[in-house]
């Protein structure tokens, strides 16, 4: 069962302004990355469902977070069907992010009052998602649509909350473009989860980029 309500999740997404996201199959590595993100100041993140037995890693990671970082909100991304969403909800997932818009996922999450953020690429999809109770729409891949899409949608629909993912980086100019256009928050993966020359996660680098990105977002909003 989710430890945080969907309202708490949405409020934290807005306050933080960024949703860090990553995946790794090794639970020990995942724990270290989680700690680095947390030390950087993030209190909400997305673990992506991208590999075999990813749910088993999430289960242990979520238990670890609950014990060591009780104020950290963990959700899951890359969910593409209602069955997978149900599986993660059984493991205590606090929110579900999807690359596509699926009504079966909406039904599963709404039944347990868990926040879900569907990937939408048109105004029609966005409107239908909002009719089904969506609070924050994911725009993916953000690099294809660009900030202009968000600005265009929020003109006639200022109530729509959009989170671009893909094409978002810690670069201040990149972040400025998204938030000037009206982004609710941004999802950041590979550009934040930097690696060293050995191809391993650079934990200090991740911590610093997280801290710098959150600081930049706060400054842009002020």
Q: What is the pLDDT confidence band of residue 90, given thresholds at 50, 70 and 90?
A: very high
| Residue 89: band (very low, low, confident or very high) from pLDDT cuts 50, 70, 90 | very high
3-state SS assignment for residue 76: strand
**Bridge partners of residue 163, in order along the sequence:** 138
195 vs 6, 33, 208, CA distance in Å?
Answer: 32, 11, 13
| Whole-number Å distance between alpha carbons of 108 and 56 | 20
Residue 205: band (very low, low, confident or very high) from pLDDT cuts 50, 70, 90: very high
State residue 57's pLDDT score. Answer: 98
> Six-digit token pair at 164?
């671009």
Q: What is the pLDDT of residues 152-198, one digit of tens each?
A: 999 999 999 999 999 999 999 999 999 999 999 999 999 999 999 99
Higher per-residue pLDDT: 58 or 1 = 58
CA distances from 51 to 80, 158, 167, 218 (A): 13, 37, 22, 33
Averaged pLDDT score across all residues of the chain: 97
Query: What mean pLDDT do residues 71-94 have?
Result: 98
Q: Which of 97, 36, 94, 35 is nearest to 69 (CA)?
A: 35
pLDDT value at residue 154? 96
Superfamily of domain 6-216 in CATH is Aldolase class I (3.20.20.70)
Question: What CA dihedral angle connects 41, 43, 216 and 180, to 10 degrees?
Answer: 180
CA end-to-end span of the chain, whole Å? Answer: 36
At residue 122, the pLDDT reads 95
Would you state the pLDDT for residue 76? 98
Q: What is the DSSP letter of 46?
A: E
pLDDT digits (tens, 9 = 90+) for 103-157: 999 999 999 999 999 999 999 999 999 999 999 999 999 999 999 999 999 999 9
Going from N- to C-terminal start, the domains of the chain cover 6-216
């Amino acid at each position: 069962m989710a430890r945080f309500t969907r309202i708490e999740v949405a409020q934290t997404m807005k306050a933080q302004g960024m949703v860090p996201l990553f995946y790794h199959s090794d639970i020990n590595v995942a724990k270290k990355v989680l700690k680095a993100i947390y030390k950087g100041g993030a209190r909400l993140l997305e673990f992506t469902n991208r590999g075999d037995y990813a749910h088993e890693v999430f289960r242990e990671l979520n238990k670890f977070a609950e014990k060591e970082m009780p104020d950290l909100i963990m959700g899951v991304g890359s969910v593409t069907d209602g069955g997978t969403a149900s599986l993660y909800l059984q493991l205590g997932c606090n929110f579900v992010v999807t690359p596509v818009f699926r009504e079966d996922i909406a039904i599963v999450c709404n039944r347990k009052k868990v926040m879900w953020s569907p990937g939408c690429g048109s105004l029609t999809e966005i409107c239908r998602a909002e009719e089904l109770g969506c609070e924050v729409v994911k725009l993916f891949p953000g690099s294809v649509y660009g900030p202009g899409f968000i600005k265009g949608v929020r003109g006639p629909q200022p109530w729509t909350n959009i989170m671009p993912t893909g094409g978002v980086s810690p670069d201040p100019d990149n972040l400025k473009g998204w938030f000037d256009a009206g982004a609710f928050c941004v999802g950041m993966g590979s550009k934040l989860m930097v690696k060293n020359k050995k191809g391993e996660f650079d934990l200090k680098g991740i911590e610093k980029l997280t801290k710098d990105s959150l600081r930049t977002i706060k400054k842009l909003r002020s």
